[in-house]
Structure 1
Amino acid sequence: MKLARVEIVHLAIPLVTPFRTSFGTMTTKDTFLLHVVTDEAEGWSEFAADPEPLYCSEFVAGAEIVLRDFLLPRVAALPRLTAPALGPAMAKVKGHELAKAALETAVLDAELRAYGMSLATYLGAVRDRVPAGVSVGIKESVADLLDDVERYLAEGYVRVKLKIEPGWDLVPVRAVRERFGDALPLQVDANTAYTLADAEHLRRLDEFGLVLIEEPLEEDNLYGHARLQQRIATPVCLDESLHNARDTASAIALDACRVVNVKPARVGGYLEARRVHDVAHAHGVPVWCGGMLETGVGRAPNLALAALPGFTLPGDTSASARYFAEDVTEPFVLDADGCLPVPRTPGIGVAPLPDPLRRFTRTRRDLYGGREGGR
């Protein structure tokens, strides 16, 4: 394939309810889609980060510059455009994994469409449907939290994840456990909100039989997470600290994590995400697929990844209606068993629908080829 044009589509979609974590509160999914056109097919992807660098160092405006000025010139110079060739071509650009992931995914979508192959088949998926968990943000009150959890369980979700932070941890977790029983698969996500000095406090979560506690300490602190794991029984799961398969191998060797959350965007794309899965699976460490409040463009490839054999825990691959009254793709809907179907049509299996895409689009610009400037 040869690269013909790359377009950025900046969109903003209202969330059905505000989503609060220890980083802040989101009311709108404000990001961009990347549209890659080649001489053989077209591909789409979604940038996973936000307008502000709060969850991670990358952000929407910065990613656009990195793509336009540094990544696309290197990729356009390739004699033959393939997704596996992108990694070496982009390697001299330090960091910016989420921007690299957006470009790799869009190219991979186009390449697989040209071949008539689904992403699930390409990655090695072994399931046609995957169980769906739900992530529940920090609420104004415990009563509000219980109402939300009850509604999500009634909708069919098979696992609940609670966002926690200092001052919102033991009480809400205890309330959910007492209300819905010990059989409910329950886990918590701290989004780096604690320090090792909080170890004794976090140890009090052990009584609730949690599946895991996700990223309790500051990012990239493998030593601190290993020390914490020595002091608590709840399995530590790492998310933001794992940037690639090498980090994953190091964390497992240090016993800094006993569960791995794979977010494809965070590790640079689906090819590296598969390598992270392979490392964890080879060591018998459970893997699950995290979420970034994706639209259907981001949710579809996550489902393909979550169908790999090592993904033994339900991920945050919720139904479209969990976040959006209307998505930019055909909606993903839970089946009666709390599962979502894995797309099996060529590429990532979805494409934006013209009408909702037009309504939610703020700007469109060509980053490579095409017409200059916005439109």
Structure 2
Amino acid sequence: MRVKEIKLYKIAMKLKSPFRTHAGTVHNRESILIEMIDENGVSGWGEGVAFSLPFYTAETVETSWHMLRDVFLPEIKNEEISHPSDIYVTLKSYQGNDMAKAGLEGAAWDLYAKQKGVPLSQLIGGVRSSLQTGVVLSLDDKLEELIPYYLEEGYERFKIKVRKGKEREDVESVRELAPKASVMFDGNGAYTEEDIPHLVSLDDLGLLMIEQPFKAGDFYLHQQLQQKMNTPICLDESITNDHDAYQAIQLGACKTINIKVGRVGGLTEAIKIHDLCMEHDIPVWCGGMLETGISRAHNIALASLPGFSIPGDISASSRYWYQDVIVPEVMVEDGRVQVSQQDGIGYEIDRPYLGSVTQETYDIQL
């Protein structure tokens, strides 16, 4: 791939409003952007989407920064990278740190597609020119203000971060404002075995799905709940690789899977999970991580694959940011996002704005 330099940017961007779940609240989003530059000066971009604190996974911005700077970049400096998946293979022996791996591999995928002169979506086998999208509502969102706005934008799927024990009330609050919309809620692993009867009692709500009610390792509890409910159970944090997905499918622990590029360590693994789910008729959708437009652009390319049949968390840049680091920003029109037909991820970097939100940089010559 003729890579000559890799740059890291640790950034912090202020959210329009705090994003609160059972696990924690985000006010300012720290992230790591990764720029991979070839000998012709062409740049590919990726993003490490770990949070500042370990409330989603054990990985954080600081641990990602350390692993990228001190371990992963020196490791790939000594390897010949001819394809983005070579990074996946090279770093596979290191446990965890999947979001750092995904960001680095993502920069390689973007650069590789640009070198080939094709959109990233086309390179990985995407079949869609536009995507139906959904939006996530946090515990602090003012529904009476936001939902009419999102309906006007064409969103037809709402995912809500519910209050434990008040799920029915929260769902009905959304349905009062959006009676025709599909509604689901995200448990963020907040429930336990004792909550199974309560969750089963919500079956009559006719939800699109319930996402990750139990902790990541609780395949058995998810199986027990799915056997008792018609409502599809979706797994998020439980799925970190294709083996996890295979185990969940064989156990009957879910009826759908949320694929997040960062959570599974990159596009290479994400595509493997997608292909496995297609083989077993398990629909998938693309989740979000309060990411910048760089990661969002990678998500758009991934969600163009044929198995992504459920609207994902690919909302407009303006959902979270006053200004994004990409130009143009991701736009939603009539509830759909266009899949870019430009080379690579299809978006340019707003370098002046990137400079204004950058806290620390690091670069290495290859």
1:166 aligns with 2:164: yes
How far did 1:149 drift? 2.2
User: Considering only aligned residues, what root-mean-square deviation do their CA atoms show, in Å?
Assistant: 1.5
Q: Contact 1:70 / 1:93 at 8 angstroms: preserved in 2?
A: no
Q: Deviations over 1:244-301 (max 9, x none)?
A: 1111111011110101100011111111111111111111111110001111111111
- Partner residue in 2 for 1:296: 293
Q: Is the 8 A contact 1:109 1:347 kept in 2?
A: yes
Q: Which range moves more in the overlay, 349-358 or 96-105? A: 349-358
Q: For this pair of structures, how many residues does the alignment match?
A: 364
Give the Cα separation in 2 of the matches to 1:95 and 1:89: 14
Structure 1 residue 82: deviation in Å?
Answer: 2.2
The DSSP-based 3-state class of the residue aligned with 1:253 is helix
Alpha-carbon separation, structure 1, partners of 2:81 and 2:155: 43
SS in 1 for 2:25: strand
What is the TM-score with the length of structure 2 in the denominator?
0.95
2:25 aligned residue:
25
Aligned to 2:34: 34
Q: Aligned partners of 2:7, 2:139: CA distance in 1, in Å?
A: 36
Q: How far is the alpha carbon of 1:204 from its aligned partner? A: 2.3
Q: 1:147 aligns to what?
A: 145
Structure 2 residue 104 is the aligned partner of structure 1 residue 108: no
**C-alpha displacement of 1:22:** 1.0
Q: Is the 8 A contact 2:31 2:50 kept in 1?
A: yes
Contact kept, 8 Å, 1:199 with 1:232, in 2: the verdict is: no
The letter of the residue matching 2:183 is L
Structure 1, gaps ≥5 residues long: 371-375
Q: TM-score, normalised by structure 1?
A: 0.93
The aligned runs of 1:44-193 (5 Å cut-off) are 44-139=45-140, 144-181=142-179, 183-193=180-190
| 1:339-360 deviation line (CA, Å, top 9, x unaligned) | 0011221112123112211222
Q: Give 1:131 deviation, angstroms.
A: 0.6
Contact 2:148 2:177 survives alignment (8 Å): no
CA drift at 1:329: 0.7
**1:369 maps to what in 2?**
365
1:236 equivalent in structure 2: 233
Kept after mapping to 1: 8 A contact 2:34/2:107: yes
| Alignment match, 1:332 | 330
Aligned to 1:373: none
Whether contact under 8 Å (1:158, 1:185) holds in the other structure is yes
Contact 2:189–2:212, Cα closer than 8 Å, also in 1: yes
Partner of 2:4: 4
User: Which segment is superposed worse, 68-77 or 98-107?
Assistant: 68-77
Q: How far is 1:48 from its partner?
A: 0.9
Partners of 2:67 and 2:82 lie apart in 1 by: 19
CA distance in 1, matches of 2:120, 2:158: 27
Q: Contact (CA 8 Å) 1:212, 1:235: kept in 2 or not?
A: yes
Which of 331, 338, 363 is the aligned partner of 1:341? 338
Cα 1:247–1:97 shift into 2, 3 Å: same
Q: Which amino acid aligns with 1:127?
A: R
Q: Give the counterpart letter for 1:325 in structure 2.
A: Y
Letter in 2 for 1:49: A
Instruction: Quote the residue 1:310 is aligned against.
Output: 307
* Distance of 2:73 and 2:362 partners within structure 1: 14
Q: Are the equivalent residues in 2 in contact too, given 1:170–1:204 (CA < 8 A)?
A: no
Q: CA deviation at 1:53?
A: 1.2
Deviates more, 1:324-333 or 1:309-318: 324-333
> In structure 1, how many angstroms separate the alpha carbons of the residues matched to 2:2 and 2:230?
52
SS of alignment partner, residue 265 of structure 1 = helix
SS of 1:130's equivalent in the other structure is strand
